[in-house]
Amino acid sequence: MNTIEAQKLVEEKVVSKMPDCAVIEKSTQEHEKCFVFYYQSKDFIKSNDIRDMLVGQGPVIVDKATGNIYETGSAYSTEHYVAAFEACGDPYGEPSPTIIITGWKKGADKVGATKLVKQAAGIGLSEAKNVIDSVLDGNEEMVTLLDLEKIHNVVEQLEALGFNNKQLWSSQC
């Protein structure tokens, strides 16, 4: 799907319900997995007068792969909605404290990863070792971490230690 096709979908499915509105074409964004469109009253687009502005609507996200449309709101920034969509396919997804370790690379540091999982998850050494051994045996393992604020660092550290992993979001299984 390209930008033109995505914009037509937004105009047909969203903006057509509001005949006094139009897509603000110069504000369109393209991301890896989605397009982002904004719309506003035609009067505001012409005048740029705040008295003509609509409030409360957020960006409209179009999934590049499926053409699905997601109308967001003004509760979060566009960056928040896009980050959630790119991470889990749902602009309303929320980060969870759980990571999934999906595999490993040659030369992976088993001892370092075991220590990191033990500390980050607040589990015993034996349990952390079992998690890493299971991944080394070809299984995927989910681990819930103690601190959601530090999860990004843990994901990066595990990656540096040779383990493929990612944070799960609320709308992922």
The tokens for 81 are 């909605």
pTM of the full structure: 0.71
Query: What pLDDT, in 10s, does the model give residues 44-98?
Result: 999 999 999 999 889 999 999 999 999 999 999 999 999 999 988 899 988 899 9
69-73 and 34-37 strand pairing: unpaired
CB-count exposure of residue 138 (10 Å: 0-12, 13-18, 19+): exposed
For 106: left if phi > 0, alpha if psi spans -120 to 50, otherwise beta; the answer is beta
Task: Report the pLDDT value the prediction gives residue 10, as an integer from 0 to 100.
Answer: 97
pLDDT at 149 over 90: no
Q: Write the CA distances from 156 to 50, 64, 151, integer angstroms.
A: 44, 27, 9
**Which one is the CATH code of 95-169: 1.20.1530.20, 3.30.1390.10, 3.40.50.10710, 3.40.50.2300?**
3.30.1390.10
Are 150 and 120 in contact by the 8 Å Cβ rule? The answer is yes
Task: Report the pLDDT value the prediction gives residue 148, as an integer from 0 to 100.
Answer: 84
The tokens for 38 are 């904004």
Domain layout of the chain by residue ranges: 3-88, 95-169
CATH architecture of 3-88: Roll (3.10)
Query: What pLDDT, in 10s, does the model give residues 119-145?
Result: 999 999 999 999 999 999 999 999 999
Rounded percentage of the chain residues whose pLDDT exceeds 70:
98
Which has the closest alpha carbon to 36: 46, 27, 45, 49? 27
